[in-house]
Amino acid sequence: MSSPGIPPQVAVIGCGHWGANLVRNFSQLGALAAISDCNPAIAAAQALRHGVPVRDSAAILADPAIDGIVVATPAATHFDQVRQALEAGKHVLCEKPLALHESQARQLCDLARRQGRLLMVGHLLRHHPAFVTLAGICAAGRLGKLRYIQSHRMNLGKVRSEENILWSFAPHDISMILALAGAMPDQVLAIGHNFLNKSIADVTTTHLSFASGLAAHIHVSWLHPFKEQKLVVVGETGMAVFDDSRDWAEKITLYSHRIHWKAGEPVPERAEGEAVPLDPAEPLKLECAHFLDCIAHDRQPVTDGAEALRVLQVLEAAQHSLESSVPVPMAAPHGADDPFIHPTAIIDAPADIGEGTRIWHFSHVLPHSRIGRDCVVGQNVSIGPHAVIGDRCKIQNNVSVYQGVTLEDGVFCGPSMVFTNVLNPRAEINRKAEFRPTLVKRGATIGANATIVCGHTIGRHAMVGAGAVVTRDVPDHALVVGNPARIIGHVCVCGERLPADDWADCACPACGRRHRRRDGSVAAEES
């Protein structure tokens, strides 16, 4: 590791078009230790220019004198490059996007936490002095409550063949908009057009809707006659424009335009624009210096892994909307206690997974499913699509929770138990329109290898014995066994069997909780 007074040392992997800029900046900051690139000629030229050695990635990762890795390789390689660097105990700055899938980004965030390493993503404009100033203006309330944000990022080229314009240009704008909004959108709608390649969008417009009423619009294109990079922010009491194509003295302009209502009609009151003074600085150098400062002082980066994950969530929703031509609802934002997703698990967006939930090996959560907080999902579990699982549920290995199944809070599903979704399935007949809903109420337990025939309800705190086949509704607190399942007793909230001689008014022998008859079933006083 670096010595006191010497900046942390980094190696840049990928020295192409953008990587060369990173190499230059880290060299100027006195932090460049080595470079690596799959093209020997490019690597040799950069090494000669900056006086550093060319090394292969294995040697770089094994060198204890190198504190951080900067990944500027093609986007499709980011996941593997970042994973290897984190596993080697290095801090990582990765160019956007962090990964091509949200599930991969989650794995990297979790790995960084386990390794105790910094994970930062290159959302460059979050470090631009103009945007930092604009964000401060909005946070201070000078524009009032934000109404809408509009971003244009357009140019003629560089046309990509491996990613569309949405993934190439829009991450910067999504990052800025999420920072200004201070929240994730509720819904994303994207439309696009393919002109040069039938499978790659050249122009897209993305609409973000927020719970606060804020709306945001992002228009990106690499088929535009001139370069335009403009962010417009409109609030109740003012407006601001960040135009990155202008000189530093004119990059941010404030307008105190207002709307007055006269005789029931809105009347605009225009005002002269006010330029906001800025201290010029290269945003990329500020980004690189921020990475080094975070390593040296153990600080959380502004654009950390969680930020990258949020941007990826919006990008994936926008891509899904682009392909389906319908708005895509976003999952609720996660808190500090993010769920644990095992690297072999697959999460299809959009899906809402609550804080503290753990999803283990080879499980699959299908789109539009909702899983509550502090759940445990075992190995080889399939959930959804459109399944609903409450808080604190435990689903053991080899269980499928199909569309139409709802588990309330605290439900236990034993290993290899089965939910059906139609009464008379045939392999050659599509009966998705005949799915029957199944409701498992709060606190119920379903034993190993039991089968719940669709269209029925399992009552609160009921217990279905191992191997039982449920063909009718199960009352609250009932204990059922057999094929078909039949009631043989009742159980307490704590899971102990109640005395058989008096279910009408009895106390649990284990916890003392009293129970009574109610509407033909047993109920606990606390339930």
pLDDT of residue 331: 61
DSSP string of 404-445?
TEEE-TT-EE-TT-EE-S-SS-BTTB--GGG---EEE-TT-E
Give me the chain's average pLDDT, please. Answer: 88
* Helix (H) or strand (E) run with residue 238 in it: none
pLDDT digits (tens, 9 = 90+) for 223-279: 888 888 999 999 988 999 999 999 999 999 999 877 777 777 777 777 788 999 999
List phi, psi (to 5°) of 464.
Answer: -100, 120
pLDDT tops 60 at residue 1: no
According to DSSP, the residues that pair with 94 across neighbouring strands are 71, 121
Domain ranges of the chain: 10-117, 126-281, 334-524
Q: For the residues 311-333, what does the mean pLDDT come to? A: 84
Torsion from C-alpha of 508, 514, 517, 518, nearest 10 degrees: -130
DSSP string of 209-221?
E-TTS-EEEEEEE
Within 10 A of 33 (CB to CB), how many other CB atoms are there? 20
Most confident of the following: 95-109, 332-346, 495-509, 512-526: 95-109
pLDDT of residue 495: 86
* Helix (H) or strand (E) run with residue 131 in it: helix 129-139
Task: State which amino acid sits at residue 394.
Answer: K
DSSP string of 298-337?
T---TTBHHHHHHHHHHHHHHHHHHHHSS-EEPPPPP-SS
Q: For the residues 400-422, what does the mean pLDDT come to? A: 93
pLDDT of residue 182: 87
Torsion from C-alpha of 125, 128, 131, 133, nearest 10 degrees: 160
Q: For the residues 268-294, what does the mean pLDDT come to? A: 91
428 pLDDT tier (thresholds 50, 70, 90)? confident
Least confident of 133-147, 217-231, 323-337, 407-421: 323-337
pLDDT of residue 336: 41
Instruction: Return the residue matching tokens 């509704």.
Output: 473
pLDDT digits (tens, 9 = 90+) for 53-96: 999 999 999 999 999 999 999 888 999 999 999 999 999 999 99
pLDDT digits (tens, 9 = 90+) for 497-507: 888 655 557 77
pLDDT digits (tens, 9 = 90+) for 196-222: 877 788 899 999 999 889 999 999 998
DSSP string of 72-115?
-S-GGGHHHHHHHHHHTT-EEEEESPS-SSHHHHHHHHHHHHHH
What is the value of pTM for the model shown? 0.63
- The two counts, helices (H) then strands (E), for the chain are 9, 41
> CATH classification of 334-524 is 3.90.1260.10, yes or no?
no
Q: Is 138 helix (H, G, I), strand (E, B) or coil?
A: helix
List phi, psi (to 5°) of 233.
Answer: -120, 125
Contact 211, 174 (CB under 8 A): no
Contact 376, 362 (CB under 8 A): no
Alpha-carbon span 49 to 46, nearest angstrom: 5
Task: State which amino acid sits at residue 79.
Answer: F
Cβ-based neighbours of 193, under 8 Å, separated by 6 or more: 201, 202, 203, 204
pLDDT digits (tens, 9 = 90+) for 149-161: 999 988 887 766 6
CA 510 to chain centroid: 43
100 Rama class: left (phi>0) / alpha (psi -120 to 50) / beta: alpha
pLDDT over 70 percentage in the chain? 93
Q: CATH for 10-117?
A: 3.40.50.720
Residue 484: cis peptide before it, omega within 30 degrees of 0: yes
333 pLDDT tier (thresholds 50, 70, 90)? very low
Q: Is pLDDT larger for residue 125 or for residue 195?
A: 125
Alpha-carbon span 308 to 202, nearest angstrom: 23
Query: Could you tell me which of 517, 451, 522 has the C-alpha nearest to residue 489?
Result: 522
Alpha-carbon span 138 to 216, nearest angstrom: 15
pLDDT of residue 159: 66
* C-alpha distances in Å from residue 348, one per residue of 16, 225, 319: 33, 38, 13
pLDDT tops 90 at residue 169: no
Alpha-carbon span 338 to 358, nearest angstrom: 9
CATH label, 126-281, candidates 3.30.360.10, 3.60.130.10, 3.20.20.70, 3.40.1350.10: 3.30.360.10
pLDDT tops 60 at residue 519: no
pLDDT digits (tens, 9 = 90+) for 21-47: 999 999 999 999 999 999 999 999 999
Q: For the residues 418-423, what does the mean pLDDT come to? A: 90
Least confident of 40-44, 331-335, 443-447: 331-335
pLDDT tops 90 at residue 511: no
First-last CA distance in the chain: 58
pLDDT of residue 393: 95
pLDDT of residue 502: 52
293 pLDDT tier (thresholds 50, 70, 90)? very high
pLDDT tops 90 at residue 121: yes
pLDDT tops 90 at residue 339: no
Contact 347, 366 (CB under 8 A): no
